Amino acid sequence: MIDTAEPDAAPRARYRPSHIAGDARRLSERQRELVALAAALGPRFAERAARHDREASFPAENYEELRQSGLLAICVPESHGGLGAGFETYMLVAAELGRWCGSTALSFNMHAQSSLWAGVVADALDMTPEQRADHERLRTRHFERIVRGGWINAHPFSEGGAAAAGAAPFGTVAHRVDGGYRVSGTKIFASLAGVADGYSVLCTLEHPGQAAGGTLRDALYLAVPADAPGVSVWGDWDPLGMRATVSRNLRFEDVFVPEDARLLPEGLCYQAARRFPHMFSTLSTTYLGIAQAAYDFTVQYLRAELPGMPPVKRRMYPTKQFAVAEMRVKLEAMRALFLQTAREARIDPDQDARMRLYAAHYTVMEHANELCRLAIRTCGGQSMLKSLPLERLYRDSRCGSLMLPWTAELCIDRLGRECLYEDGECDEAIES
Ligand SMILES: Cc1cc2nc3c(=O)[nH]c(=O)nc-3n(C[C@H](O)[C@H](O)[C@H](O)COP(=O)(O)OP(=O)(O)OC[C@H]3O[C@@H](n4cnc5c(N)ncnc54)[C@H](O)[C@@H]3O)c2cc1C
């Protein structure tokens, strides 16, 4: 075998980080444009990240820039004044944000949820003509608040029990009253708590005469204004990572929510969650971005190209080369699966596509942390100082695989089941 690499060829000036999609030529012009819009904000986000991480404070300046750039309305359809990104485009743009500030990207993903569920997902769902017309009217109001009012929306679904994993009805309940609903309950880990203008709350609609607590099919999605009487934020926020997401707890005490705050028609939330599982993989965007950032950091560090560091190259040691190769293998695997599943997203994916999706989500979440671990071991002692971003990337990356509904454990659980059972198959109970 002849090695065609030319060791003596003129050196490239400096390392140039690759596009978040790897080969940007495969993207549409619009996709490249929107990723570039996010990339242009990135360096300022990165500059602010250390302070917000240290203080566990909300990066308000980043959100002001997201608002100015139009990115707050990234998933609002163009017909409603937004940037009109579809699912795949959103995934790329969100991953690019993750490269610069994990916390901003993660909370931004929560913000984007209501536009996606009420937008691209709702468009793909079965609705009666009346439901469709009603949904169009209500989402127009919601989108207007984002496009014209610059609203930031949180997406609280976690309650500390099985509901966030999709295994039980939400404990936060809604009752129908004149002109709307009354909502009561508690949510934990609500990114953007206290800074969002609205909380896109998942709850259970209780029907009169039925057993309290309802069923999974009674899930309801409501945009609750943050200043509605009865809404409060509580609890401390001093976590290991993702500190600038400010994911405190929320309480809803008999909050009146007008009927026009419905983000999906009654009864369709369950259908949406069942039929469009790719939506749950949007959380992985942040972690692909973090992995890319950790890889870029490592290459620049070993090439002695990091600003402010002594110009001591470390790239000539075979052990460093092995480690960085291992990181690259993981990064390419993550990216390939991420892109493929982002492109495959659609209503009612077949079993094969669902299994690939669990594998992709698991791979991104687990590899992101593994890549950061390798980066610290490879770059060495100086690289983990708080004056550099790597230790923050490491802490932030740890959070991905514990996020519901698809923790790493649950991905493996679902994947294992689907590997061994075809759609609709089950075993009879085994008598002991
Ligand atoms: C930085 C960060 C930001 C977050 N932001 C948000 C946000 O904006 N909105 C939001 O809603 N959440 C958010 N979360 C919460 C996240 O999605 C999870 O809900 C949370 O991490 C779960 O924590 P837990 O300790 O309750 O999980 P666990 O105890 O692992 O799970 C909670 C419950 O789910 C059930 N469960 C777990 N595994 C299984 C299983 N295999 N089968 C069936 N049921 C199971 C169990 O009843 C379990 O007690 C955030 C989390 C982090 C770390």
- Residue 12 pLDDT: 57
Whether residue 140 is predicted with pLDDT greater than 90 in this model: the reply is yes
Q: CA 58, CA 262: separation in Å to the nearest integer?
A: 28
CATH domain 153-272 topology: Butyryl-CoA Dehydrogenase, subunit A; domain 2 (2.40.110)
- Residue 4 pLDDT: 44
Whether residue 64 is predicted with pLDDT greater than 90 in this model: the reply is yes
Instruction: Please name the residue whose Cα sits nearest to atom 36 of ligand 1.
Output: 162
Q: Which residue has the tokens 């990135």?
A: 42
Whether the Cβ atoms of residue 244 and residue 58 lie closer than 8 Å to each other: yes
Q: pLDDT digits over 203-228, tens only?
A: 999 998 888 889 999 999 999 999 99
- Ligand 1: centre distance to CA 278 (Å): 18
- Ligand 1: centre distance to CA 186 (Å): 14
- Residue 212 pLDDT: 83
- Residue 426 pLDDT: 87
Give me the mean pLDDT over the 184-213 stretch.
95
Atom of ligand 1 lying closest to residue 410 CA = 41
User: CA angle, corner 158, sides to 155 and 162, nearest 5?
Assistant: 145
- Residue 13 pLDDT: 82
Whether residue 3 is predicted with pLDDT greater than 60 in this model: the reply is no
Whether the Cβ atoms of residue 318 and residue 33 lie closer than 8 Å to each other: no
Q: Kindly give the pairing relationship between strand 173-177 and strand 198-206.
A: parallel
Give me the mean pLDDT over the 157-182 stretch.
97
Q: CA 244, CA 238: separation in Å to the nearest integer?
A: 10
- Residue 275 pLDDT: 98
CATH classification code of 24-147: 1.10.540.10
Whether the Cβ atoms of residue 100 and residue 41 lie closer than 8 Å to each other: yes
Whether residue 9 is predicted with pLDDT greater than 70 in this model: the reply is no
Q: Which residue has the tokens 């892109």?
A: 339
Give me the mean pLDDT over the 157-183 stretch.
97
Whether the Cβ atoms of residue 104 and residue 59 lie closer than 8 Å to each other: yes
pTM over 0.75: yes
- Residue 213 pLDDT: 87
Residue 155 Cβ inside 6 Å of ligand 1? The answer reads yes
Instruction: Please name the residue whose Cα sits nearest to atom 24 of ligand 1.
Output: 160
Q: pLDDT digits over 401-414, tens only?
A: 999 999 999 999 99
Domains of the chain by residue range: 24-147, 153-272, 276-420
Residue 294 Cβ inside 6 Å of ligand 1? The answer reads no
Residue 404 Cβ inside 6 Å of ligand 1? The answer reads yes
Give me the mean pLDDT over the 265-290 stretch.
97
As given in the structure block, the two tokens for residue 4 are: 């065609």
Residue 156 Cβ inside 6 Å of ligand 1? The answer reads yes
As given in the structure block, the two tokens for residue 244 are: 């600038």
Contacts of 208 by beta carbon, 8 Å cutoff, 6+ apart: none
pLDDT level of residue 5 (50, 70, 90 thresholds): very low
Whether residue 78 is predicted with pLDDT greater than 80 in this model: the reply is yes
pLDDT level of residue 429 (50, 70, 90 thresholds): low
208-212, 250-254, 296-300: least confidently modelled range: 208-212
- Residue 431 pLDDT: 52
Whether residue 415 is predicted with pLDDT greater than 60 in this model: the reply is yes
Please tell me the CATH superfamily of domain 276-420, with its number.
Answer: Butyryl-CoA Dehydrogenase, subunit A, domain 3 (1.20.140.10)
Whether the Cβ atoms of residue 147 and residue 114 lie closer than 8 Å to each other: no
- Residue 109 pLDDT: 98
pLDDT level of residue 432 (50, 70, 90 thresholds): very low
Calculate what percentage of the chain has a pLDDT beyond 70.
Answer: 96
Q: pLDDT digits over 348-359, tens only?
A: 999 999 999 999
Burial of 314 (0-12, 13-18, 19+ CB in 10 A): middle
Beta strand extents in 122-230 (DSSP E only): 153-154, 173-177, 180-190, 198-206, 219-225
Residue 416 Cβ inside 6 Å of ligand 1? The answer reads no
**How high is the mean pLDDT of the chain?**
95
